[in-house]
Amino acid sequence: MSTTLEPVTQDVIFVSRLSAAERRRVQRLAAGGALIRVSKGVYVSNEGGATEIERRVRAHWMDIGGMLIPGGVVSHISAIRGQPQDHVWTVSHPTLVRKKLELPGLAFQLVEGPGPLPGDMPLGQSGLYWSSQARALLENLGRKAPRRVGQEEIEAWLIKHLNASGEKLLNELRDRAASLAERLKMPEQLEVLRGMIGELLGTHEKGELKTQEGILVSRGKSVDWERIERFGLLAAHLRTAALPRIEETVPMGVARHNRAFIESYFSNYVEGTRTCPHFCG
């Protein structure tokens, strides 16, 4: 981000990145109402009122978070859902704990946890990181709390990724979680995760699964609820849709039979069936 302040066109200004002369000018602009201080060392343009100030803060949440919580890791519920909850980002940090940093339109809930671990992804040059999938799974297991999604949602997450990527992914996640559990101080969560994955893959049964869908998957009777819901929406639409009437162009009798055979044959051919019945000639 440029530090040039003439004219003030930046949405967010970080004082630590400015020269001494630029810092004095920021102070003058803030005193005059052109800028507003939203946190220590962070100013935003005051143009447009409160709604615009909140929008600017949310748009630059990574840079602001990296400035206020250097080395922090977006974790727990925020990492597994990929977004803040009611504009609150949950961030793990080894020393800045049990605090909530409030800004206009945005907040960071700080929880105790190690800094970046193997697999955690740096968020550009901001100074923040994003929990790896294995870390986020462990962080969200355990006693129900606002910062955790809970076991049922983790089951749904595992089933979704099992359907999309197969058994290999879940085995890899289990191994990665095992390598992180000690540093996260989450041995119990690791055992729960191992049990869930083992049951979903059908390798053992420990009674860890809580949802109907998870139990069905463990018994080899998986149900794709998402697609069932989509088919339900389609059926509901078709029940009330005004469909055009298409007049039949093929008369009854042999002609219709022949047409049905030809359509079926070439439909199978397009789908990959190349064998022709002996009566095709």
94 and 138 housed in the same domain: no
193 and 121 housed in the same domain: no
184 and 145 housed in the same domain: yes
Q: Tokens 């989450």 belong to which residue?
A: 186
Q: CA–CA separation, 190 vs 197, rounded Å?
A: 11
234 Cβ contact list (under 8 Å, min separation 6): none
Bridge partners of residue 89, in order along the sequence: 108
Residue 246 belongs to a domain = no
153 and 168 housed in the same domain: yes
- The helix (H) or strand (E) run that includes residue 129 is strand 129-130
Phi, psi of 124 (to 5 degrees): 60, -135
Single-letter code of the amino acid located at 105: G
61-68 vs 49-59: helix crossing angle, rounded to 10: 70
203 and 156 housed in the same domain: yes
98 and 164 housed in the same domain: no
How many structural domains does the chain have?
A: 4
pLDDT of residue 1: 42
Q: CA–CA separation, 104 vs 85, rounded Å?
A: 15
Cβ-count burial of 103 within 10 angstroms (0-12 exposed, 13-18 middle, 19+ buried)?
Answer: buried
To the nearest 5 percent, what fractions of the chain are helix, strand and coil? 50, 15, 40
232 and 272 housed in the same domain: yes
Retrieve residue 24's tokens.
């004095």
Residue 3 belongs to a domain = no
Residue 138 belongs to a domain = yes
Distance between the two ends of the chain, CA-based, in angstroms?
74
pLDDT of residue 264: 81
Condensed to tens digits (0 to 9), the pLDDT of residues 173-212 reads 999 999 999 999 999 999 999 998 988 887 777 666 766 6
54, 79 Cβ separation under 8 angstroms: no
Phi, psi of 59 (to 5 degrees): -65, -25
- What does each of the 281 residues of the chain score in pLDDT, given as a tens digit? 444 444 444 788 999 888 899 999 999 999 999 999 999 899 999 988 899 999 999 999 999 999 999 999 999 999 999 999 999 999 999 998 888 999 999 999 999 999 999 999 999 999 999 999 999 999 999 887 889 998 899 988 998 888 888 889 999 999 999 999 999 999 999 999 999 898 888 777 766 676 666 666 766 666 666 777 888 888 888 888 888 887 777 667 777 778 778 888 877 776 666 555 544 54
153 and 207 housed in the same domain: yes
237 and 263 housed in the same domain: yes
Rounded to two decimals, the pTM is 0.73
Dihedral through CA 212, CA 216, CA 217, CA 221, nearest 10?
Answer: -150
Q: Tokens 């999938």 belong to which residue?
A: 133
Final residue of a structural domain among 78, 98, 131: 131
pLDDT of residue 260: 77
Q: CA–CA separation, 145 vs 142, rounded Å?
A: 8
Residue 4 belongs to a domain = no
3-class SS of residue 266: helix
102 and 81 housed in the same domain: yes
Domain that holds residue 211: 133-223
Phi, psi of 36 (to 5 degrees): -130, 135
In order of 32, 60, 164, the CA distances from 12 in angstroms are 17, 7, 40
Final residue of a structural domain among 24, 39, 59: 59
Say whether the peptide bond before residue 7 is cis (omega within 30 degrees of 0): yes
